[in-house]
Amino acid sequence: WDGEDGHPSIFHGHTLTKPVGFADVIEAIATEAFAGADEHPYAKMPFILSFENHCGPKQTAEMAAIMLANKHFMARVVRRPRDGDDPPLMSDLMGKFIVKSKVKDDSPPEFVDLVWLVGAKFKSFEESIAQPWNYIHSYSESKLKEILEPDHAAMRQMFMKYNATHVSRTYPMGTRVDSSNYNPTPCWQVGAQIVALNFQQVKSAMITYLGMFQQNGCSGYVLKPDYLMARAPMPKPTWFAIKVISGHSIPQEPGEQKSFVNRNTYVSVGVTALEGVEYGESVDANHTETVKDNALTPIYTPLDGKSFKFMAAEKDLSVVTFKLKEAVRGKDPTVGYASVALSVLRPGYRMLPVRDTEGLLLGMPHYLFIHTEFLS
């Protein structure tokens, strides 16, 4: 936004948030974004700066001047591609800054030159597919619901075709004032690359999200399946069975100080991207029996004594989620989570790290012990 002091500032418009100087943010990003990248190669993945620019031409020009004057930033920024340039390889973008922003008719040329992902208004997929490869659309949750309606198969196919050559960003409806979320899985299923969520609440959507991006070194990047790039046929469904064997040091609700021997717990298991699951539907029907008076080393068994069996229509986009529940007078609050992408889950016995209700990994000794079997 145009800063009252004559310099561009960053804040959440029309709210009580305090502004931060644009120059200070660019300096912090330039010096800290890739800290430790020499020791951790996953930390070199591209860093996207998404500008929602409400500045006028004068302070937009100053934004460009601030970036151009920062040598650390400019050493890593990717300049706007020229006509005829091919899309780069990921290896070309390692350790680089990518600026995403809309470009207006009155945007200064020095700012335009720094914008690599150009935000464009969606009109139709036919027009969008013909746009340069570095153009990006942002879709609201309400628009997503329209595209993903079961009777809009042709629109869904066009969306997948667009996402094979261009980048899409999706985001929750502004009416979610409680910071709730939509289901990210249907967006991944049509090839959307940037699926934005509200991070304030860690519930089913965020646990799915954390499970998906726990792979690939927690870098925030996961390779899209070949069938979404029109390079391979749609895979066959995957049948598999999960058995929750035991847990260790099951966490409890924030502020609670109960003894392990005074707590009754069980675990529910769900899988995203199940065959026949529609937009926003939650799958959480399988749970173990309740283990009483032992939250330190509970031994769990399914209600019928058998493993939980699932069929995932798209293995590469499925996430297995585990909710650690405490049986408390019918309230049964969730006290912890675990989640893992099905594509990286191997057959046999595994220990899964547990997160608290804020999504933070607790580390040892908090874990679940499970067994996975892939069925023919």
pLDDT for position 282: 46
Q: Which amino acid is at 367?
A: Y
Half-sphere exposure of 279 (CA within 13 A, CB side): 18
pLDDT for position 281: 44
Q: Could you read off the pLDDT tens digit of each residue along the chain, which spans 376 residues?
A: 999 899 999 998 777 889 999 999 999 999 999 988 888 878 899 999 999 999 999 999 999 999 999 999 999 999 999 988 999 999 999 999 999 999 999 999 999 999 999 999 998 999 999 999 999 999 999 998 888 887 888 999 999 999 999 999 999 988 888 888 998 998 999 999 999 999 888 888 899 999 999 998 888 999 999 999 988 898 899 999 999 999 999 998 887 778 888 899 999 998 886 554 544 444 556 889 999 999 999 999 877 777 889 988 889 999 999 999 999 877 889 999 999 999 999 999 999 999 999 888 898 899 999 999 999 7
pLDDT for position 46: 95
Six-digit token string for 105: 């008719």
- According to DSSP, the residues that pair with 20 across neighbouring strands are 10
pLDDT for position 260: 85
For 59, phi then psi, to 5°, come to -80, -20
- Rounded to two decimals, the pTM is 0.88
Contact 213, 288 (CB under 8 A): no
Contact 143, 182 (CB under 8 A): no
User: Rounded to an integer, what distance in angstroms lies between the CA atom of residue 346 and that of residue 333?
Assistant: 30
User: Rounded to an integer, what distance in angstroms lies between the CA atom of residue 64 and that of residue 75?
Assistant: 15
Contact 287, 268 (CB under 8 A): yes
